[in-house]
Amino acid sequence: MARAKKLPSGKWRIRVCVTSGGQSKYKCFTGNTQKETEQLAAQYTYTQQEIFNPANMTLFAAMNEFIDNRNNILSPTTVALYRIIARTAFSSIKDLKLSSLTQTLIQKAINEYVAGRAYKTVSNATGFLSVVLKEYAPEFQYKLHMPQKKRKTIAIPTEDDVARLLSESRGAPVYLPILFSTHLGMRRGEICAIDWKDINLDEKTIRINESIAQDEFGALVRKKPKTVQSERVLKLTDQLIAELPAVGEKIITIAPKTITKHFAELAKRLNMKYTFHSLRHYYASIMLKIGIPDKYAMERMGHSTNNMLKTVYQHTFTSEQEVINAKLQDYFDQKT
């Protein structure tokens, strides 16, 4: 701690700094003697250090400070997700001090949170919990036990389904988003960010380098796509080009959540149990069907791994499976 300095008035003055979470807090003290002034500063510093000691923070406070300290580097979607987790997850321990947490208490809170929630939701929450504990309680040794991951069943629209979706949505705001997703495999946020500056009609290409997302306050913001691999240039199909509005007009007129809402209403009306994201699975399945190698399929989808493609491989078109079944039956018929 710095030494107190004597002022022209005869008083003594000292300025102290306490740092927490990368942020500094300054306070000045004035006294009649050097000793008195330095004692006041020392007492304040000790008290503040006790307050700012991570062990004395609650889990909820640690979660929110973690988010605050990364607000400018995390994507708006991630910040919003972390805020939701901080508010809704691990209710039995979030108001406890970090120094009070135990393996048993944490596991109990996870077990309570699991009920009725999807594996991915639980995984997101426990992942966030892990990074917070690693930063604010690095010496705490624990092991999180997750529920067994269930094999995910995905619904892939057939070619007939997609034809119906496009036919029934023609003229509606959701029509172009459906076309961009089924012809280029674009994500919802990427579709909403489409701008004429990214389209080259001479070369028939579109550059995908932005996405529209909702921040923690519900405002729509532009951001970089999901991953580095998500930044890509794709060839526009002739069918897509024919449906684009006049150059200069707004291409996509609705927000991401509105796309989801309109598509859900359309699917329900057609008695289909698909989400808008199912259209990306359809696009991946088309690439699988016509024999496009994984490397190029991953590039077009904007993926860094082929995990999603592997999932799609397990859920190929029913019609294709029926062809394979028939071929196998013919083979064994010839053997008998």
Q: In what order do the strands lie in the sheet with 199-200?
A: 199-200, 205-208, 232-235
Lowest mean pLDDT among 102-111, 115-124, 288-297, 311-320: 311-320
Identify the pLDDT of residue 1. 60
Nearest 5°: phi and psi at 272?
-115, 140
Contact between 266 and 279 under an 8 Å Cβ cutoff? The reply is no
Question: Taking 60 as the threshold, does the pLDDT of residue 20 lie above it?
Answer: no
Collapsing DSSP to helix, strand or coil, 291 comes out as coil
Lowest mean pLDDT among 45-59, 60-74, 93-107, 272-286: 45-59
Rounded to the nearest 10 degrees, what angle do helices 119-136 and 103-114 cross at? 160
Q: What distance in Å separates the CA atoms of residue 120 and residue 183, rounded to the nearest whole number?
A: 27
Contact between 72 and 223 under an 8 Å Cβ cutoff? The reply is no
Query: Where residue 242 falls among pLDDT bands split at 50, 70, 90?
Result: very high
> Residues 27-71: pLDDT tens digits?
888 989 988 888 888 877 766 655 556 667 899 999 998 998 888
Q: Indicate if 159-321 has the same CATH topology as 59-136.
A: no
Query: Where residue 99 falls among pLDDT bands split at 50, 70, 90?
Result: confident
CA 221, 87, 138, 126: dihedral to nearest 10 degrees? -80
Identify the pLDDT of residue 294. 80
Query: Where residue 19 falls among pLDDT bands split at 50, 70, 90?
Result: low
Tokens 């929630």 correspond to 117
CATH class of the 159-321 domain in this structure: mainly alpha
The CATH number fitting domain 59-136, selected from 1.25.40, 1.10.10, 1.10.150, 3.10.450: 1.10.150
Q: What distance in Å separates the CA atoms of residue 146 and residue 125, rounded to the nearest whole number?
A: 11
Name the DSSP class of 97. B
Instruction: Give percent of the chain above pLDDT 90.
Output: 45
Of the candidates 85, 25, 22, 77, the one whose C-alpha atom is nearest the C-alpha of residue 59 is 85
Q: Dihedral of CA 245/166/254/198: which sign?
A: negative
Identify the pLDDT of residue 96. 93
Q: Tell me the chain's radius of gyration from C-alpha atoms.
A: 28
Q: What is the pTM of this model?
A: 0.66
Identify the pLDDT of residue 311. 67
Domain ranges in the chain? 5-52, 59-136, 159-321
Q: What distance in Å separates the CA atoms of residue 199 and residue 245, rounded to the nearest whole number?
A: 12
Contact between 274 and 155 under an 8 Å Cβ cutoff? The reply is yes
Residue with more model confidence, 217 or 246: 246
Query: Where residue 335 falls among pLDDT bands split at 50, 70, 90?
Result: low
Question: Taking 60 as the threshold, does the pLDDT of residue 314 lie above it?
Answer: no
Q: How confident is the model over 3-19, as a mean pLDDT?
A: 84
Name the DSSP class of 249. S
> Residues 316-334: pLDDT tens digits?
655 666 776 777 778 767 8
**Dmax (CA) of the chain:** 112
